Structure 1
């Protein structure tokens, strides 16, 4: 048996190494868009976002940018300002993609072209200064590529991209301690292209492999009649986003006083300023980048960190390997003890019989002067009689054969939680597989969330089945009530949380808020699609499926549980056991958190490493649960049902604690609403993780206990 487990362990290790070498690739799209010379290229505007706040805003909602004119450009059937249809994932991530008035024609450079001159008041200027202070970044899209800010490495050997470009910049003057804010009002657009692959290239068509934007702030001086700067490349003055205070009326009121109150800079007195917007377009051929690899420049930093990911995998394998050896030892002891034929029913009697036999044997020797057994018989008797160590070994978990399957308290809640956990497990596995093989990739904007939501709705079948069958196993009678609870527990609580958060985001007029129609659509999918699927799965699990059979019968009177060691008492053992899976996941969490909260303009796409670490995590959770459950049974405590579930999901507590530490020491989030969104999203993510790993822990412990008690013959 141990040899078989070792072979499986080696097979798993080899599989991990093979998957890791594959890392993750991506299918860059389902069709290549090629352009002929002088063919118009649409430029789409999306939103502005910041790493310091969770609030995003649609680009055309900003009062200081050029509004859409509604004119058609090129062969477009829609005028500027037309909303592009979005998938569910794009809506949930705050995208608001619209057509713009930028005119890009394939192969035609433009030195300078006027976009508009926008007049803004003090209120608009104040908001713009705040957005610049918070480091907001603008996102435009050309040929499904986000506008990129180009950087080079320190040794200038490689180039890499960061999605988006700054809305403006802030200068600090230490002499008077003041700050000045400058807005970017000229955009140099660089389109990098190459010959299209296949027949399209033979026809003279081209594909876009790069979209770079270099913003610049140019003052009002030295401009042509059309509004363009005289020399775009020269060192021009910068355009400060500022309207000087107007104290004329105050001077009239206080003509005879030496005291003159200062009017606030943001006072609404009708004062305005003009912001001229211009842009340049340049097309440059790029032969070193293939169309299929045009996203690679966004992943340069993640490729450079591959060594850290390998260290994370080695660390995870080491922890999981040590726990695996412990599980093998435990399994070997239980199986070896069973093959010796010692039954639990005779265990207590064995001690008494052994003692009485020894007493009677000693008395007979004293009376007759000679032993009742010869030397050989003595050896056989000593071999048959269990030693003190062996008796101590079987005096723990085997004593619980009549209580180990006693129904837990609140069993009506355990089944829906396990059902929801299996649903989330199916979603997580599906997303990791689809991402690792490249079906979900950055070119499929919002695809990760959209596909994940679809998998979640479909997985209602699994949720209902496992919940219904476990509910029947636990002796439940009202399976329809259990179905409703399963279908509404996690989705209902999640929807309520999102709806409450939406109220705060709506008040901020942020694009992060879900439209009312989207909320209605989500409720319709939940009630009209998922609930029937959960009902169907629950019907198969409860009505058509048989309950899981337990190998031992439960006694009428419950056994008294002795005093437990400190590490098995209450929440102590649960929280301590959660540290081990957290240690497995810790290093990879650094990259996930950095991408989600600090570098939202980037793209996390090392799903090959994440899949391997997640697989090791599931194995580790199973191993930890087996070890803690076995220790609990040896301490003659048969309340393992809820404890196995909580042990499996206990690492979620440490992940949430890590979120708090990350917020305090790594992030610079400003605003109450942004902080509320951070902690709410973190809590929701930890709840999903806890349900998933808790279900893995429970199912592992349940299978382990059924196996060891079914292999043991109880006399």
Structure 2
């Protein structure tokens, strides 16, 4: 009766899991991929959940006349890594401090930010823009200010570097609207231009103009529960001269073409003549001294509300990804390329395992065992005869005893089988290898968690700063795994100072990373950029590292060293190390691991094109095709395992037992090619100017490649370690119960 009731229960559980899998598969959402099979309830529920967890934002419904806060953030550019808070600009309207729409906060009030927002340079504050749902405003004056020569020059430089402004309404960044080439779809680019540049037809010189009028378009849709929800936030900037305005400060006709507000103050000719006296020519733009001359900059704005019936609130971020849809075919080609390379390597590994390893085992099967027993019995018989005749001395007895030992391996003739007594010899600098492997496991856990959460939609662009914040939390929590693997591997190596190993694991990689970020921060601080991490945040990161992560690493290391048993090796290690014969050139120099790193890089480099474009070149966009990235990353890990196994087997066949570090370097060697790709990308694709921006690019690229190399190196080492243990346990089954060392 109980069995009959248990079987249907199991069937129901399997049916529920199958239904959940099918529902999740059909509702799997890759932002930027608009061809969704169905708008299932699971899809809408998951997207609503993603919105609810994003920075505390949920679906906000507005009634007609209800105020809508507009937040200002920062300016950024594709040509530099330096960002600036919007209200730090001396040529924009400063906050008045007045509250609008019944808000308890006045303009200029800082919004509390999470760790990720602070690290990415966000500085979000309330503003003086007054928006009310459904109320169009033809023109409203914001302020009018006088700007000096130094500020005009800085504004001209920012416009030259193509800086864009980021505002936020209902957690949507203000966007510049574009249409596709066939004019069938519209898509957004986050941010809008600070100004623009053109060429003077009279002189042929570049002229710079500042955008001082903003046409704000709020696109809304009616909510089934009542009210209206915002599904789009567009900003159309315009430059309008300070002349020909009405008393309120607005242009007479804001929609007509106007002469732009040029960023130019006539030079002080008397001062220039005095400075360059005796010269027939002097530069007219060399006029940085504050002589009291100013440029009047009036700021105005218009507001329009337009109903949008084609976009749902749950899909409003799709407009920011539509332009990425054109690269979907390239993503699929990258996956096919990755699978092809991985399959070829997998076949190679299969041949190595089946023909070589199993072939050796099969060739040395029962017949070899029986032959070995006969030889041992024959030696013992001869030994007994000699003993009975009194003809065997003590040395012969010892030799015969050694030859008849149960731990005696099979007689090998060549190749990797000759290394049975040295293959598990403790590597040099094992006290450094264990912490590196532990840190690699920590990074592997963090990267896996980020990819999974991103694919589920929990980490999305509406969760501003969530990727960095959650990644930092996962990294700190994964200190337990770092300490465990480092401590257990250290114990396997026979180490005794496990507390020292714990400190190295907890301080080495995080300490070097923190030091690098601190040094870079000094350069950014000198530029007064919002990219600089505030001092209070640095103290918080230091406390997070020393007060939380270090104890977690200690706990994990204690479990790995004191509670867990070391990994057992199937063979004892000889007292005297075997002499290694002359090695091929690729095992004598670093060229071997570097060449093997080309294979994982070939799997990854197509996806790197998209990743680099969104990180460095198109900062106004969002990289959010994590579904493709997850598949490529999984294939990459498999490829690293296959390459490392093949390289390790080749090294053992050359009778070289120094495979420990070699496997780690082989697994992480593709990081070298990724960094070389960074140099190529900077040289030929980017237009970054300035020493500090270049320093930031190469420093953060180096740090990212170090993280990648540490992660893949750990995967390669663990794969080679597992392979070697399994191979020698299969070939030497009589020695499986031997203690390590």
- Normalised by the size of structure 2, how large is the TM-score? 0.85
- Residue 83 of structure 1 is matched in structure 2 by 110
Look up the SS of the partner of 1:647 in the other structure.
Answer: helix
What corresponds to 2:51 in structure 1?
Answer: 29
Q: Deviations over 1:621-657 (max 9, x none)?
A: 0000000000000110000000000000000000000
Aligned match of 2:12: none
Pick one of 621, 636, 661 that aligns with 1:617.
636
Contact 2:29 2:457 survives alignment (8 Å): no
Aligned to 2:395: none
**1:407 paired residue among 408, 422, 426:** 426
Superposition map of 1:349-364 within 5 A? none
**Do residues 185 (structure 1) and 212 (structure 2) align?**
yes
CA contact (8 A) 1:53 1:674 kept: yes
CA distance in 2, matches of 1:254, 1:328: 79
1:176, distance to aligned residue in structure 2 (A):
3.3
1:89-132 deviations in Å (ceiling 9; x for gaps): 00000000000000000000000000000211000001000000
Q: Does 1:340 align with 2:346?
A: no
Asked whether the 8 Å contact 1:344–1:714 carries over to 2, the reply is no
Distance 2:25 2:275 in 1: 78
Residue of structure 2 in register with 1:381 after alignment: none
Aligned residue runs from structure 1 range 163-202, under 5 A? 163-173=190-200, 176-197=203-224, 199=225, 201=226
Write the deviation string for residues 531-583 of structure 1: whole angstroms up to 9, x where unpaired: 00000000000011111110000001111111112233221210010000000
Task: Confirm whether residue 139 of structure 1 aligns to residue 166 of structure 2.
Answer: yes
**Structure 1 residues 435, 258: closer, same or farther in 2, change over 3 A?**
closer
For the residue of structure 2 that corresponds to 1:294, the secondary structure is helix
Contact 2:28/2:456 (8 A) holds in 1:
no
Post-superposition offset of 1:21: 9.7
| Structure 1 pair 552–692 and aligned structure 2 pair: CA distance change class (3 A) | same
Greater displacement, 265-274 / 611-620: 265-274
Cα 1:46–1:187 shift into 2, 3 Å: same
CA shift for structure 1 position 303: 1.8
- Indicate if the aligned counterparts of 2:146 and 2:297 stay in contact, CA closer than 8 A: yes
Partner of 1:324: 346
1:464 to 471, 474, 483: 483
Decide whether aligned partners of structure 1 residues 284 and 407 sit closer, same or farther in structure 2, where only a CA change above 3 A counts.
Answer: same
TM-score between the two structures when normalised by the length of structure 1: 0.88
Could you tell me how far apart the structure 1 residues matched to 2:276 and 2:125 are? 51
Query: For 2:689 and 2:499, how far apart are their aligned partners in 1?
Result: 47
CA contact (8 A) 2:67 2:130 kept: yes
Superimposed CA distance per residue, residues 573-632 of structure 1 (whole angstroms, 9 cap, x where no aligned partner): 100100000000010000000000000010011000000000000000000000000000
1:87-166 residue pairs with structure 2 within 5 A? Answer: 87-166=114-193
Given the superposition, is the C-alpha separation of residues 558 and 183 from structure 1 closer, same or farther in structure 2, using an over 3 Å criterion?
A: same
Deviation at 1:177? 3.8
2:215 pairs with 1:215: no
Cα distance per residue 1:3-28 (max 9 Å; x no partner): xxxxxxxxxxxx9xx97994525735
Q: Which residue of 2 aligns with 1:480?
A: 499
Unpaired stretches in structure 2, ≥5 consecutive residues:
1-20, 32-45, 53-57, 376-409, 735-741
Structure 1 unaligned segments of length 5 or more: list them: 1-14, 353-390
Change (3 A) 1:252 1:342: closer
Cα contact 1:19–1:612 (8 A) shared by 2: no
CA distance, structure 2, for counterparts of residue 409 and residue 471 of structure 1: 13
CA distance in 1 between counterparts of 2:589 and 2:215 reads 63
User: Are 1:298 and 2:304 matched, yes or no?
Assistant: no
CA deviation map 1:459-515 (0-9, x unaligned):
000000000000000011100000000000110000000000000000000000000
Q: Distance in 2 between matches of 1:259 and 1:541?
A: 80
In 2, distance between residues paired with 1:177 and 1:338? 82
Q: Summarize deviations over 1:398-456 as a string: whole Å, max 9, x none.
A: 11010000010000000000000000000000000000010000000000000000000
Root mean square deviation of aligned Cα: 2.5
| Partner secondary structure for residue 295 of structure 1 | helix
Q: Are the structure 2 counterparts of residues 714 and 557 from structure 1 closer, same or farther at C-alpha, using a change threshold of 3 Å? A: farther
CA gap 1:699/1:108 in 2 versus in 1, 3 angstroms: same
Q: Distance in 1 between matches of 2:713 and 2:276?
A: 72
Return the offset for 1:525: 0.5
Determine if contact 1:595/1:602 at 8 Å carries over to the other structure. Answer: yes
User: Which of residues 67, 78, 81 in structure 2 aligns to 1:40?
Assistant: 67
Instruction: Measure the CA separation in 2 of the matches of 1:653 and 1:681.
Output: 14
Partner of 1:593: 612
Contact kept, 8 Å, 1:23 with 1:609, in 2: the verdict is no
How far 1:37 moved relative to its partner?
A: 0.7
Aligned-partner Cα distance in 1 for 2:273–2:453: 69
